[in-house]
Chains A and B, each alone.
Chain A
Amino acid sequence: MDRRTFLLAGASSTLFTIQWRETLAAGLASGTVETQALETLSGKVPLIRKSYRPPNYETPVDLFDSTITPNDRFFIRWHLSQIPEVDPVTWRLRVGGPAASNAAEYSLEDLKKSFAQVELVAVNQCSGNRRGLSDPHVPGVEWGYGAMGNARWKGVRLRDVLAKAGLKKEAVEIAFDGADHGVTDATPDFHKSLPVWKAQDENTLIVWEMNGAALPHLNGAPARLIVPGWTGTYWMKKLVSVEALDKPLSTFWMNTAYRVPKGKFAFADRFLTQENDASTPITEMVVNSLITNIKDGERIAAGRDVEVRGMAWDGGYGIADVAVSTDGGRTWNAATLGEDLGRFSFRPWRYSFRPAAGSYVVMARATNRQGATQVNDLIFNPPGYHNNVMQRLALTVA
């Protein structure tokens, strides 16, 4: 069966694997392509395994065909390999710290009873999504396009919990810890902080529900933080502690990791208490898009309409427009935006054209309401963050 016949016939699972290896090879290191594989974890559809332990699995591109990413398709990302299954009945959240007046402990029921419940849709994207496409390659989890997902989250506002804790005027950061940890005490615990203003944002939530169901174990059950607009590093999974600090948090995960060279990226949101002369913590996501229904190198029959579709998202300003090019960026056409589930959500888009026989290079370019758009060339940085290079997908019409 040749490739074209395969495409016309639709994806059987074995052929899908072959096709998938071939198409994902573009841009990833050869060792990455040879090592990764589709694997089915409990409660998940087959995801692309990047590492067994800690478990890191990404969502295949063609599974981003709905605005909401179902829980069983949602990517998995952990730094440390000890990830306890936490009983939601005995789970407790400790709230306190040197800059809080009233320390407290909450069960899940306490949180639900004590505070207003909120739902919102937001993209959760790993800071290093697309790291594996860096040119030159950089070390780390060699993510392709799928270290992200968009879910409807339900929980309570962190700022309500902090108000009850009584923040002192000395409070500079709010710190978060999860139940996960390393194999030895020598491994720095995954411990993160937010500036007080971001912790008090009305959209920063402690959630227990994702798309109408309890959070899956590997997505942070029984409760996690969500920080809409900001990259996943702040979205602490299996949250067990919230602490108001009177000085900046000093941990490997704040001072060394998850930082970008200062001045490389233009952001509205800055995390000033953690900045130094050389670097600054990663904050909001850059505007980006993903073409979800066309594979690089695909061949299609001439004489019929071709739809190009996908998702666009940004750091919470909202998508203003998406343009599609079929000639490698020489000319651009407006795509039609789909359902609007809020400024933190994926925004679906589509564009149709009827191509004559020939070769095409399909690209998409999202622009947000701040006027920020995607880049043609990678803004290289050693950790491989913020890759919003426009895709260039070859399409042959014959």
Chain B
Amino acid sequence: MKILIIEDEKMLAEDIASYLAKQNYLCELVGDYHQAIEKIDCFEYDCILLDLTLPGGDGISILCELKRQNKQDGVVIISAKDSLDDKIRGLELGADDYLAKPFHLPELAARIFSVIRRKQFNNSNVIQQNELQIDILSKEVKVNDTELSLTKTEFDLLIYFIGNKNRVIPKTSLAEHLSGDYANMMESHDFIYAHIKNLKKKLTNAGCDNYLKTIYGTGYKWQI
């Protein structure tokens, strides 16, 4: 999977690349508008991470360029401008998702995962992992052909873990994923524990291996 990171803050771009590299993504980094346009002209990417404020030009015009060339690359906007106008405009111009800075890397990875899934597996969007089978469109989860009934939150968490295989996910990231900005305002995120416990129980009861590991007491990892 090829990912283009268009971000002028080199350190942040490298950190993103470093996190994604272990998820079998191949990342290319560009730091300004002109380099970005060159890359887009010559190559196809599975997903493009796009910062809106760039030296040499506006991120929005890169979106227009992609549209003009009729490219099918998935686009996730990562912007420090958390303004509704930008978000709506970006999505209207063909971006697939919008993530305001600062964000957790697992959250970004999960978003990239769903964008690529949505773009490339339009008809049969099924993830198969050993005995576990997840149909993203119909939200059906099967273990060895036995169907599991998961709540919306549990399904959401499962996809999040699949998008962040072998990574340590702290509880705070999960809380932020589930309740957005409100998570920052609450001190306790104990509800996460209950959801994880239920998800684990449902999976193991259906005969699934225990991929979901608890680490350091309050962190989690989908180990495979």
- The reply to whether chain A is a binding partner of chain B is no
B interface residues (Cβ-Cβ under 8 A, vs A): none
